[in-house]
Amino acid sequence: MKKIEGRYAQQHFTVGGHYEAETVRGPEGWRISEFSFDMAWHAGDGPLAKTGGAAGRGSGV
């Protein structure tokens, strides 16, 4: 386990759920144009959010 900000975090975080995606084909190949994900379950500790004004941004979630 790795210690981050005084907490131990597991090395792996696994999620499962349902997703929908739309793709478009352009000159550089296929790209995802829209994506939605509904998490149904998870195992392990998720990414730790930054504190001090950066909450919700850049947390890796």
14 in a domain, yes or no?
Answer: yes
22 in a domain, yes or no?
Answer: yes
Compute the distance between CA of residue 38 and CA of residue 44 in angstroms, rounded to an integer.
18
Residue 36 CA: distances (Å) to CA of 8, 23, 31, 60: 30, 12, 15, 16
Model pTM above 0.75: no
Question: Which secondary structure element, helix H or strand E, spans residue 6, and what is its range?
Answer: none
* Residue 59 predicted with pLDDT over 50: no
Q: Which domain holds residue 30?
A: 2-43
Per-residue model confidence as pLDDT tens digits over 4-28:
555 665 577 888 999 999 999 999 9
Count of domains forming the chain: 1
DSSP letter assigned to residue 47: P
Per-residue model confidence as pLDDT tens digits over 26-48:
999 999 999 999 999 988 877 76
Please name which of 16, 8, 53 lies closest in space to residue 37, comparing C-alpha atoms: 16
CB 47, CB 60: distance < 8 Å: yes
